[in-house]
Each structure stands twice: as structure tokens, then as C-alpha cells.
Amino acid sequence: MEQPIQYRLIKKEKHTGARLGELITPHGTFSTPIFMPVGTQATVKTMAPEELKTIGASVILANTYHLWLRPGSQLVRAAGGLHQFMHWDQGILTDSGGFQVFSLAHRRGISEEGVTFKSHLDGQPMFLSPEKAIHIENDLGSDIMMSLDECPPFFESHAYLKASVERTSRWAQRGLQAHRHPDRQGIFGIVQGGGYHDLRRQSARDLTSLDFAGYSIGGLSVGESKAEMNHVLDFTTPWLPENKPRYLMGVGTADSLLDGVIRGIDMFDCVLPTRIARNGTCMTSQGRLVVKNAQYAQDFTPLDPQCDCYTCRNYTRAYIRHLIHVNETFGIHLTSYHNLYYLVHLMARIRQAIRDDNLLDLRAEVFDQYGFNEKNAKNF
């Protein structure tokens, strides 16, 4: 049987580990590297699907944990799956729920069988196993599913992380076996291991011995430094197969996208662009701009004079600031639209730079715009 998710490597950049490729899914073929907007609750906050297409988004992420709780995966299945439920006909990736169980839910108990926890909504006792996670994702009908992993803190002890990595590998195998729709959904395994070279290697070796459609790198962007994240990527991506896509989970600052791509990452997701948008913060070609600040009250220029998105073509900082100031959600829509456009557009520029073999020039340009250097680059 042909894998529903495939990766085609088109070109490697001359000076870095960056790769230009194609992600082939049942809902379309998409250029990589790719940034995937997050639609936690079956909607990318404030954005219509048509608007996401207009800005060039092609794969979006939905959160298994949230949708399992509300509206429930069986309801989504009854609706014809997530694509039909939310009116999105391009790619959808679902996480495993593991990250949310370990970050949002209360009173966790972890065993070989799975994780028991209490819902963060109503305290109801819940149980998530590797099989259950895959079955929920089967109900959701995403193109790309994640295998259930444990997400321990980056700075856990070596002993704890070793046991955790080994359990995550056993869970990965169970998830693969539980898969009900191998003809139309692919599963990625998630490489864990904190900052430890030997554990990342063990995790990568365990998972690449199984036939996953792609590989995620988890447990990063959780409080470690930018240098630590890059260090882990430096030694982890070389262990991943060239013919499978590589996904760095939860990363979405301009600098981290560039540094991830340079280390061979193909896929990224992050709530950052829509989350900071709700706070009136924008990513621009001039760096970070907090449009809700009083200094923009009478500024009749666009958020980003170099941007040609819908927001920047039609609205001023003064207007957007006013809307956010008086709690009009249309203001948040305009900043969300711009931030998503910024990252999706940056990714298109990154792909072009890979074609042109000048990715390091683009990196220098963007780092300069944000006033980033190697020390503060993570502090968007």
C-alpha cells in the first residue's frame, strides 16, 4: 500500500542543511519548508479558511486534546471529519494530545498503559493511551497524525528522560499498530530526549526503525535557550532519514524558523502569530511592533510599510490601535491576519533563498530587522 504522506526532496541549499521539498498529502501537495498556522479548536483564531488560503497557508494544525474534550472526536467523525466540519480542504495535522496533557491538565498519573489526568475544563477524570490518541485522530481524519509521546521538562534528569524516551518508543509502536486508516492518514513519530545527545540518538534510532511517515522533534521551545535548541537540532536531524519530512513542534519566531530550516527542518507550527496578535503585537520587516501602544494613536501608516497583506494595504496603525483599544475583535483579526501572512510569506522567501543558495543572507537580514543576536534571538 502506498503511504498517504510522502516527502520529495527537491534541492539542498549549498551553504546550510536547508532542504527544499514537497509534502504530498491526500489533501494536496505543499512546498516545504512550511509554516503551519494553529487552529486549536477547529478554527485558526479569527480567520476564515478562505483568508488562510489567500495568505498562502496550506497545512494547518488542530489540537487533539482540545477537540477530544469539545466537541468530541465522535461528533467530528459524524460531521464527516475535521476537513468537512471546519470547511478546510487542504492539509490538516493533529498533535497527539500529549503536550496538552502534560501542560494543561491537572493531576497526571503516567504508567506503561497511558496517562490518567483530570480535564482542565471540569476536572473529569480522563485516560489517554497511545491507542486512544490514534483512534481520536482517526476520528478527526487529519492527514498527518502524531504518535502519543511523553513531554517531560527539558531539564529533567537523565535517568527520568531515559525511561521516558524508552516508554515513548514503545507507545509509538503501539500507536502504529492501532492505526485504523493507514490508507489515508500518516503517523509521525516524535523524537524526545531533552538536551541529551545519547537520548535523542536513542529516540531517533528507535523511531526510525519503525515505518513512520515522518519525524517530529518534540520537547523543544519549552524554556531552554535558543543556543540549546539549535544544539539539539544540530545533532538530532542528521539521524533522521532524508526521504521523510522533519517537523519541529511548537516553534514560530522568525529567527527560530530560519535556524530550524538551516538545520534541515521542513515543518513548523506555533500559536505565536495569533497569540501575540490578540495582544496587539505584530511581526514586521522593522521588527516587533506593539500597535496598541499610545505612540501609534495618530500613526496613519500601515503596520508594516513593506508588507502587502490585506491589513497593511487597507488599514493604519491608528485604526488598528483604536479597534484593539475599544475591544473590537476586528482589530485582533487584522493583526492575526498580518502576523500569519508575515510568517507564511517569510517561509516563501526562505524557500526562494534555498533555491538561490543565499539563505544565510536572508537570515542576517531578518536578524538585523529584529535586532537579534545570538544571545537574545529567542526573546521575541
Assess whether 304 carries a catalytic annotation. no
User: Is residue 124 at the binding interface for a second copy, with CB under 8 A as the rule?
Assistant: no
Nearer to a second copy, 10 or 48 (CB): 48
* Residues flagged as binding site for Zn(2+): 307, 309, 312, 338
Binding span for a second copy by CB under 8 A among 78-86, 148-156, 170-178, 265-273: 78-86
Cβ-based neighbour number of residue 271 at 10 Å: 17
Question: What is the Cα–Cα distance from 223 to 290, expressed in whole angstroms?
Answer: 23
C-alpha cell, 256 = 527560530
Nearer to a second copy, 52 or 346 (CB): 52
Interacting residues with a second copy between 8 and 27 (CB under 8 A) = none
Residues 6+ apart with CB under 8 A from 79: 85
Nearer to a second copy, 279 or 373 (CB): 279
C-alpha cell, 107 = 493531576
User: Is residue 68 at the binding interface for a second copy, with CB under 8 A as the rule?
Assistant: no
At 27, which amino acid appears?
A: H
C-alpha cell, 253 = 519566531
User: Is residue 47 at the binding interface for a second copy, with CB under 8 A as the rule?
Assistant: yes
Contact 346, 316 (CB under 8 A): no
Contact 58, 27 (CB under 8 A): no
Minimum Å distance from CB 249 to a second copy?
23
Fill in the DSSP letter of residue 211: -
User: Is residue 318 at the binding interface for a second copy, with CB under 8 A as the rule?
Assistant: yes
For residue 319, give the nearest of 342, 341, 298 by alpha carbon.
298
**Active-site residue, from 206, 255, 259, 269:** 269
Binding span for a second copy by CB under 8 A among 74-82, 197-205, 254-262, 363-371: 74-82
Nearer to a second copy, 66 or 378 (CB): 66
- Cα distance between the two ends of the chain: 44
Question: What is the Cα–Cα distance from 343 to 332, expressed in whole angstroms?
Answer: 17
Binding span for a second copy by CB under 8 A among 9-17, 26-34, 81-89, 171-179: 81-89
User: What residues make contact with a second copy under the rule CB under 8 A?
Assistant: 41-43, 45-48, 66, 70-71, 75, 78-80, 85-87, 297-298, 300, 314-316, 318-319, 321-323, 325-326, 328-333
The catalytic site residues sit at 95, 269
